[in-house]
Amino acid sequence: MKTALVFGSSGLIGGHLLNQLIKNDNYNKIKIFVRSEPKINHSKVEIIKTDFNNLENHKEDIKGNDCFFCIGTTKQNSPNKDEYRRIELDVPKEIAQIAKLNLVNSFIFISALYANPKSLGDYARFKGVVEEELKRFNFSKLVVMRPSFLMGNRKEKRVGEKIGIFVFKLLSPLLLGPLKKMKPIHSEIVAKAMIVIAQSDTQQITFESNEISEIIS
């Protein structure tokens, strides 16, 4: 039986991930790291109220088998540049470093479509930088997932993303070859694929959006 560590359980992917982990018999404990306590009461779930500004205080908590990292933000939600950078760049690196020191076996990271450390846009660049940093930790298993536009019911409104999803759903039949990874993907599919990959013996590190869909097809 395994222990899952979940960061970002209140988000679009993380919410589905938590529900799937609860149903999965391979995990007998799920630690969720949260700023405020959610309304959830399940014997498998351990809620850890987390100070993300002082993650060193949670060294003893970040222990388990598989670490699932789904934390992300937008410039709309984090207009302060330093805060945005901290959430997107510093937090995942610090959590991964602690997890590695605690001998966590696998680290599954939600990145972004076209993540690249040389990208001109902060979002894709920060995700790309984190990907490169994670590789240096040499986890027994590192998985980087790059979903395209995420479908699902978000708590907050993202008008630009909704427009993008609508447009790319219309264009989906034309998105072939290298463009297949641009097709919108449902957040629940990403969550299911994270668990499947965590329990597989694959050596592949990076999964583009279309590859994520194929995992559970």
pLDDT digits (tens, 9 = 90+) for 8-54: 998 889 999 999 999 999 999 999 999 988 888 899 999 999 999 99
User: Across the chain, what does the average pLDDT equal?
Assistant: 87
CA atoms within 13 A of residue 101's CA, in its CB half-sphere: 12
Over 70: is that where the pLDDT of 178 sits? no
Domain spans of the chain? Answer: 2-215
Name the pLDDT band for 165 (thresholds 50, 70, 90).
low
- Report the CATH architecture of 2-215: 3-Layer(aba) Sandwich (3.40)
Ranking 14-18, 57-61, 128-132, 163-167 by mean pLDDT, the lowest is: 163-167
Question: Which tokens hold the place of 166?
Answer: 């609508």
Question: Which tokens hold the place of 165?
Answer: 């999803």
Determine if residue 177 is left, alpha or beta; phi over 0 gives left, psi from -120 to 50 gives alpha, anything else beta.
Answer: left
Query: What does the pLDDT read at residue 47?
Result: 96
pLDDT digits (tens, 9 = 90+) for 77-116: 777 888 889 999 999 999 999 999 999 999 999 999 899 9
Name the pLDDT band for 149 (thresholds 50, 70, 90).
confident
Name the pLDDT band for 160 (thresholds 50, 70, 90).
low
| pTM of the shown model | 0.87
Over 80: is that where the pLDDT of 74 sits? no
Question: Which secondary structure element, helix H or strand E, spans residue 13, and what is its range?
Answer: helix 12-23
Q: 3-state class of 51 per DSSP?
A: coil
